[in-house]
Structure 1
């Protein structure tokens, strides 16, 4: 039953388990996700972090039996969604960067040629028979 409920996760992940018994029948199950050999994309660091579930053996069995609808399946689904969003954002940022670089290249090739500074207009000389006035 455990393996059958985890089959959907095994398409993307190779799973390692650590099981520790505590006091009063409490058990901690730690699931360590790794990239499955058949998976094409590498796992994001947050997606590959171990997941610990603590409860009684019956509670953990119940959650694992729910498969993708259980706690473990929901955690994996949320992490996968976040990893997909991060991958999309990275691709959009790379595309925008490449587009900006391609727009900058033609502008750099056709840099404007320096022009001579504009000459100030020549002062108009007053007629010789008129006195200069400020008014």
Structure 2
């Protein structure tokens, strides 16, 4: 089993410190392609889509809709195969962030995927 990639709450503006998950556009176990929109999040200023730049399968735990999550905290996970998809339990962002990768002890970790934050404005330096 490979280690899941963490989908994090993006920082969509310089002043954003948290966002609210409005909805999930993909469901648990759905195949995700590069460029797919997986969720919609709301800030104090706008509603934006969360796009991923890796392929995989959406896995839990997923932050539930209407949950406020700090920037950089986990809102969901991508895994490499359909067999690795775990529903998990939706929980607080701290519980989601602490979710361990599953696998037999001594097994090498699988591929780690990076979801890159797109530059959403000329002044955006991080996300």
Normalising by structure 1, we get a TM-score of 0.26
Which one has a larger percent helix, Structure 1 or Structure 2?
1
| Structure index of larger Rg | 1
Could you say which structure has the greater relative contact order, defined with CA pairs below 8 angstroms and 6 or more residues apart?
2
